[in-house]
Amino acid sequence: MNTSSVLKWVTGGIEAFFAIPLLGWLIYTHTFPGLFLLLLGLHIVTLVLSIKDGKNKHGSILGIVTACLAWIPIIGWIMHMITALLLMVDAKRSERAIEM
């Protein structure tokens, strides 16, 4: 498993946590800008490593957008869910590509 896949699992898990209705939004907005900057940084690092490894970068790009829009209650919740799913699917596909 390469570093970009591991980071996709990590960021996907964090995104899934923040997709928990109300709890994720409360934590995200009450720790602003700390968590925002952490998530944004993780998504940027994951994007750079994905590009370097020649892997899918869509989840990381959406993660950057999600980090910026997560403070909007319903939109942020939906975007966290979609981003978590996309990152985890990307990570699983990367693992399968390595196994073959």
Residues sharing a CB contact under 8 Å with residue 18, sequence separation 6 or more, in sequence order: 24, 25, 27, 28, 70, 76, 80
Which pLDDT band, with edges at 50, 70 and 90, does 96 fall under?
confident
What per-residue confidence (pLDDT) applies to 99?
66
**DSSP assignments along 4-70, one per residue:** HHHHHHHHHHHHHHHTSTTHHHHHHHHTTTHHHHHHHHHHHHHHHHHHHHT---HHHHHHHHHHHHT
User: CA end-to-end span of the chain, whole Å?
Assistant: 12
Task: Provide the pLDDT for residue 88.
Answer: 97
Domain residue spans of the chain: 3-99
Section 83-88 average pLDDT: 97
Q: What is the pTM of this model?
A: 0.91
